[in-house]
Structure 1
Amino acid sequence: MPINYVDLGSSVENKKSRKFALKKPAIIILSLFALLLIVLGSFSFYFYSKYKTLSNDLNVVSAQVKTVQKGIEEQDVPKVKSSLKELRSSLKTTQKDLSKFSLLGKLPVLNGYYNDANHALKAALYGTDAGELVADSVMPFTDILGLKGSKVNVTAEEKIQILAVKVLPSLAKKSDKLEGLIRAIETEVTYLDPDRYSENLIIKGFKIRETLLMTQRSLNDFEKFLPSLRYALEAIPSILGYQSEKTYMIWFQNDKELRATGGFITAYAIAKVKNGKLVDIKSDDIYQLDLRFAPFEPPPAVLRKYLGMGIFAIRDTNLSPDYKVSAKKFESFYSKITSMPKIDGIIAVDTELVREFLEITGPIKIEKYNETFSAENNETYNIPDVIYKLELYAEKVFSGERGRKGLIGDLMNEILDRLLSAPPDQFPKILGTTREAAEQKHILAYFHDQKAQDLVENLNYAGRIKDYDGDYLHVNNSNFAGLKGNLYIKEKIEQDITISGDGTITKKVKITLSNTEKADGWLNAIYRNWMRVYVPKDSKLKEKKVYTDFAEKNDLDKTTWESYSLTYPLKESATYFSYELPFKVKKSSVYRLLVQKQPGTTDPHMIIRVNGKIFQEFDLKKDTEIKFNVKDV
């Protein structure tokens, strides 16, 4: 799902406004109606003199489609529903009028246009059924979903409860019927032939061939979305403790001290939810949990070498870049600690999420510390105020004290209180911020419940290293004793792809780390980094340039190159690999590349060249798939 799909030469980011989650069905329905207007319009365009009745029907349908579109844009569900009913009536009239000319369906050439019109009408009628089904499902909850309608003065937490116990279960009951209607629409649309229409033919403001192709693609994309919809309807109530209380551990990862899954685990919380309500949450410093843990495994070599660890502490278990693997390792240690509650999953958040939530809540004062935290910038250190103060308290004010890293848990508790008690009009913004943070891997989730885990993996919120049939790249960095250097580290990743005449692919990958600030002794110093570069399995290394400690391994079904580097303040360091991919491509094929972002990173700059030319340059905000035709490069 939220993986960027990029065609080289096109814009990387789609900056469409973020509406509520049901916008995909709306887009499909509007596309169908536009399609109907085009096909019927072209039909009457060619045969207007004999089919004026049909042309009048088209004008009525066109006006009603605009009314439906306006209702969707305004998110006015009652208006959409009533407009759909009127549109269905007009579509049936049009279908009846069209049937009067069934003889055309038997004539050469003309039969193609006639059949297209029939299939478009059937698809549009199914579209009105699907639209009404969605409208009926959400009608009782328009305010809860942030839609236009009657206002109910409920808090964000109460809205979540209603979603968990009413909205989603109601939609779940109708998901099979909705899926059936979408598949019926798709069947009708597949009969339409875009090549039948001239590229330059425009009816009612629509380019015929272009809109036909767009509608077919949209339906194909929506079919891929259906499993996520089903997973969500079944899993979200369970995740929110519908009918059965759930207990989750929350990791607070410090992304300014970057580790494989997004940051050093600085604190944790145990949260209990039931029927969408947060019934209890307690947080503590991760070191306090380690004091209760009796290490029983020797530390991995990398911890011994770079951190001088003689034990394998629970706080260092997030070594794998695959979040599920790291979470299960943590849990295998956690289960050995007596008197700790059993958990149903682990959710990780980082300090960037804290900053984004503070933008919604505004400054928050924690009475326990008599300190106010905000998202505003600290001009002295050129970092957000909240980040500066979290580090100030952990490294200076409470230095050496027990529980010195528990402040983030106290702050997060207060933020959650504010968010859950927020007024109704802030709910869409809270939901949108949370969703965007998950897409950008500032929130990760691992659940025991298989349906819940399937959902977050399908949405790409699970931090998994993906299996992928094509080119692949993931760069994973771990800050080992480099203070809070990731406050100031900027990363640039350059990929040079060369495709030879026989389809052999040679790649050069250069990773440059820039330490953009001077040393200050507590936030920034020499940045000490353990890097792993993941590429397709069986890639053949031809040349490398690393600082030290190179090793080649196989991990997570990928070939992995490890190295260690030092990046001095106001300097940069570079790591370079040249290699041959384990497969070839044909001239007629599509080149596919998946770049997976490391959790906790702030938009590494990506440059991709193909056969010496820059084809794409962007900031890597989330996992991104890039495709291009080999014959075009």
Structure 2
Amino acid sequence: MLSAVVVVLVLAVGLVAWVGVRAALARGELESAIPLAGTMQRQVVAGDGEAARATGLELAERASSAATLTSDPVWRAFEGIPALGRNLAVVRQLAGVVDDLARDGISPLADVAGGISVDDFRPVDGVIDVQPLVDAQPAIAAAAAAILTAQDHISAIDTDDTLSEVSGAVGRLGSAVDEAALSIDAVDKAVRIIPAMLGASGPRNYAVLFQNPAELRSTGGIVGAVALIHTENGVLQLTQQAPGASFLRKSQSVLELPGDTRNLYSDRTGQYMLNVGLTPNFPLSARLAQEMWRLQFGVQVDGVLSIDPVALGYILAATGPITLPSGDVLNSDNAVSLLLTDVYQRYSEPSDQDAFFASAAVAVFSAVAGGDVDPVKLITALGQAGNERRVLVWSAAEAEQAVLAPTTLAGALPVSDTTTQRFGLYLNDATGAKMGTYLAVDTSVGQASCRADRRPNYSVEVTLTNTAPADAATVLPRYVTGGGEYGVAPGNVKTIVSAYAAPALQNLGLTQDGQKVPYLPATDDGYQVSALTVDLAPGQSTVVRYNWLGPESFSGDIELQMTPVIHRNETNKLDISC
């Protein structure tokens, strides 16, 4: 009898040791596997496809090992032990999620990464080989699907009554997968639409709007110049240019405008190319620009892109300095000052200013299309410009526009969800000149629940400052100050500032420098809008706070989407007192 007890005890100790050892090994494999995903991503961005492939294979091996270590019959039997078992079950589920993700998502990506390099996407003599993007579509789609599945499985893991180390591991894996989901979603969208936009399935024409934020419009600035880009089988050609001011001003809008757009921004939005950006809804601006190009030149473009001088500056970090026809050397440090300040000092005729601006844009395009660019730096530059809404894209193809719609590139009005309340802040120049160069903008957003029903109060605060010199009226060119032509004192900056809130919010008005002031309450496509006109003398500053009441308790994040002005700091957190 005693010997039987001893045997049972030895067996029990052995089984515990078995599970303990396998748990330690599995933990080591998981802790080694998860960081490899970030390593693989960095290697892809750096253009080292073969290293990325090797990293992906190692990740898959470690994930498979962890899954095997946590799925044998002894492990599953121990999951039935009170207290301990719940932890073992969660570890097994974690290992399974990582293994599935590695097999179904990362392994296909590793194979793709090993066969291509970032340099494959460098234009050569104006031609981009789109085939690698086409070839990558199945693997990237599989990875995107695998990540969505992993998110679902992680959210279904029950961490109640588990050790903090175990529940913490679930949280860390969830955060890593969520971050990866954002990246792979962006790549998935890119490989689905870029080949088509580059003419892989037939020739395309795109109107490119060069917006000038020295004279602000909601989407960025007046359209100083427009270019026609032709794409076919990856070939990029700039085939035509036209100053924005050369487009004929129509007696009525070229397209029927929504009533809200007419009420807020007038019919001028659809009458003149310079004003298509008055509305913050870029898809509408793009359709207007498309029709204006058709009426002017008889060509129906397949899409519209927009870019500003600040974005050109970012791109110059990838191309290096470029010598312009004027002899000026344009680089990432002087792009904004040269294009938005110096040009007005040098040229008194608007047509000469537009020609200089257009020549700079063409020079940058030629450098990129010709392959004289660092592809990794270019991707970084375009990503930064896209996040700041300095690059906007609209496609006339419904399927492609549907892919673009949820991204910052689409330039649509802000969409709130269950985790984030989003607001919009849009600026339109009312000076009738180029004083936007001297407008500094600081923003902050905040919320507080001050009511018994916990409905939150939201505020968006913007500080506007005219940084022009005190003698701006005399030292700055008339074309920059406006010369008082539109009733604005020379040197002043007059701006219409419109704040947008989700349709469900209640508009509580606004204050300027702490005092309630008259404003224009309106709606735009259901959004609650508050608009105020601000006129600032040199050195003058003002603080405007927009206020809303939410429909129900909310504890998520707040974000602000706004016009990409020249000088703007990051949006800060605003403390709201009850």
Sequence identity (%): 13
Checking the alignment, whether the CA contact within 8 Å between 1:285 and 1:403 is kept in structure 2 is no
The equivalent position to 1:384 in structure 2, one of 337, 349, 353, is 337
Q: 1:173 aligns with which of 104, 125, 138?
A: 138
Shift in Å at residue 448 of structure 1? 0.7
* Cα displacement (A) at 1:212: 1.3
Distance in 1 (alpha carbons) for counterparts of 2:33 and 2:545: 56
Flag the 1:70–1:504 CA change in 2: closer, same or farther, 3 A.
closer
- Whether the aligned pair in 2 keeps the contact of 1:547 and 1:563 (CA below 8 Å) is no
Pair 1:343–1:70, CA change in 2 (3 A):
closer
Equivalent of residue 464 in structure 2, options 513, 517, 539: 513
Contact 2:265 2:278 in 1 (8 A): no
What's 2:85 paired with? 111
Q: Does 1:128 align with 2:128?
A: no
1:365 corresponding residue in structure 2? 323
Q: Secondary structure at the match of 1:590?
A: coil
**1:535 and 2:501 matched:** yes
Q: 1:60/1:390 Cα in 2 relative to 1: closer, same or farther (>3 Å)? A: same
The answer to whether the Cα contact below 8 Å between 1:306 and 1:480 also exists between their aligned partners in 2 is no
In structure 1, C-alpha distance between the alignment counterparts of 2:329 and 2:232, rounded to whole Å: 31
Residue equivalent to 1:552 = 521
CA offsets, 1:397-432, max 9 Å, x none? xx16x56512222211111222233457x1100111
Structure 1 position 484 matched with structure 2 position 452: no
Write the distance in 1 (CA, Å) between the matches of 2:413 and 2:291: 20
Question: How far, CA to CA, are the matches of 2:276 and 2:372 in structure 1?
Answer: 39
Mapped contact 1:250–1:270 kept (Cα < 8 A): yes
Letter in structure 2 aligned against 1:208: V
Deviations 1:93-138 (A, max 9, x none): 5357x33454324444443244334333332322331221111122
Aligned pairs for 1:188-587 within 5 A: 188-190=153-155, 192-199=157-164, 207-220=165-178, 228-290=186-248, 294-297=250-253, 312-337=271-296, 339-367=297-325, 369-377=326-334, 384-393=337-346, 395-396=347-348, 399=349, 402=351, 404-422=353-371, 426-468=374-416, 472-481=422-431, 483-495=433-445, 497-502=447-452, 503-506=454-457, 510-518=461-469, 519=472, 520-522=475-477, 523=480, 525-537=491-503, 539-541=506-508, 544-545=511-512, 550-577=519-546, 579-581=547-549, 583-585=551-553
Q: How far apart are 1:501 and its partner, in Å?
A: 3.4
C-alpha distance in 2 between matches for 1:58 and 1:533: 52
Offset at 1:567? 0.7
Q: Distance in 2 between matches of 1:255 and 1:373?
A: 18
In 1, are the aligned partners of 2:313 and 2:332 still within 8 Å (CA)?
yes
3-state SS of 2:531 partner: strand
Deviation at 1:558, TM superposition (A): 1.7
Q: CA deviation at 1:270?
A: 0.5
SS of 1:336's equivalent in the other structure is helix
| Residue 238 of structure 1, CA deviation | 1.1
Q: Is the 8 A contact 2:421 2:559 kept in 1?
A: yes
User: Could you tell me how far apart the structure 1 residues matched to 2:460 and 2:330 are?
Assistant: 40
Matches within 5 A, 1:52-201: 54=22, 57-58=25-26, 61=29, 65=33, 68=36, 72=40, 74-75=43-44, 76-84=51-59, 86-87=61-62, 90-91=65-66, 94=69, 98-129=72-103, 130-144=105-119, 155-157=122-124, 161-162=128-129, 164-166=130-132, 168-186=133-151, 188-190=153-155, 192-199=157-164
Quick one: structure 1 residues 322 and 571, their matched pair in 2 at CA, closer, same or farther if it must change by over 3 Å? same
Return the offset for 1:303: 11
Rounded Cα–Cα distance in structure 2 between residues aligned with 1:220 and 1:528: 43
Displacement of 1:53: 5.5
Distance 1:189 1:605 in 2: 33
After superposition, the C-alpha distances for 1:4-52 in whole angstroms (9 at most, x for unaligned) are xxxxxxxxxxxxxxxxxxxxxxxxxxxxxxxxxxxxxxxxx99763446
In the alignment, the residues of structure 2 paired with residue 240 and residue 476 of structure 1 have an alpha-carbon distance, to the nearest angstrom, of: 32
Contact 2:445/2:558, CA 8 A, preserved across alignment? no
What's the secondary structure of 2:295's corresponding residue? coil
- Normalised to the residue count of structure 2, the TM-score between the two structures is 0.79
- Which SS does the other structure have where 1:315 is aligned? helix
Question: Residue 105 and residue 374 in structure 1: after superposition, are their counterparts in 2 closer, same or farther (change >3 A)?
Answer: closer
Of residues 280-289 and 181-190 in structure 1, the stretch that sits farther from structure 2 once superposed is: 181-190
Structure 1 SS opposite 2:538: coil
CA distance in 1, matches of 2:95, 2:128: 40
CA contact (8 A) 1:261 1:599 kept: yes
Q: Which amino acid aligns with 1:244?
A: G
1:391 aligned partner, one-letter code:
Y
Residue 234 of structure 1 aligns to a residue whose secondary structure is helix
Q: CA deviation at 1:139?
A: 1.7
- Residues 404, 410 of structure 2: 8 Å contact kept: yes
In structure 2, the CA distance between the partners of 1:314 and 1:46, relative to structure 1 (3 Å rule), is farther
What whole-Å deviation, never above 9, does each CA across 1:345-396 have from its counterpart, x for those lacking one? 11111111122223333332223x3433334459xxxx63343343345x42
| Maintained 8 Å contact 1:119/1:191 | no
Which consecutive unaligned segments of at least 5 residues does structure 1 have? Answer: 1-44, 146-153, 200-206, 614-633
User: Is the contact between residue 498 and residue 507 of structure 1 (CA under 8 Å) also seen in structure 2?
Assistant: yes
Aligned partners of 2:448 and 2:458 also within 8 Å: yes
Amino acid at match of 2:506: S
Question: Is contact 2:560–2:571 with CA below 8 Å preserved after alignment?
Answer: no
CA distance in 1 between partners of 2:516 and 2:431 (Å):
17
Query: Who is 1:609 aligned against?
Result: 574
Amino acid at match of 2:283: K
Q: CA deviation at 1:230?
A: 4.2
The answer as to whether partners of 1:283 and 1:410 remain within 8 angstroms in 2 is no
- What CA distance in whole angstroms lies between the structure 2 residues aligned with 1:93 and 1:307? 66
> What SS does the aligned partner of 2:559 have?
strand
Aligned equivalents of 1:260 and 1:431: distance in 2? 26
Maintained 8 Å contact 2:429/2:495: yes
Q: 1:223 to 1:65 in 2, by over 3 A?
A: closer
Higher relative contact order at CA 8 Å, sep ≥6: structure 1 or structure 2? 1
**Greater share of helix:** 2
Q: CA deviation at 1:261?
A: 1.2
Could you tell me how far apart the structure 1 residues matched to 2:466 and 2:422 are?
27
Contact 2:463–2:544 (Cα < 8 Å) also in 1: yes
Partner amino acid, structure 2, of 1:127 = L
Alignment RMSD, CA only?
4.1
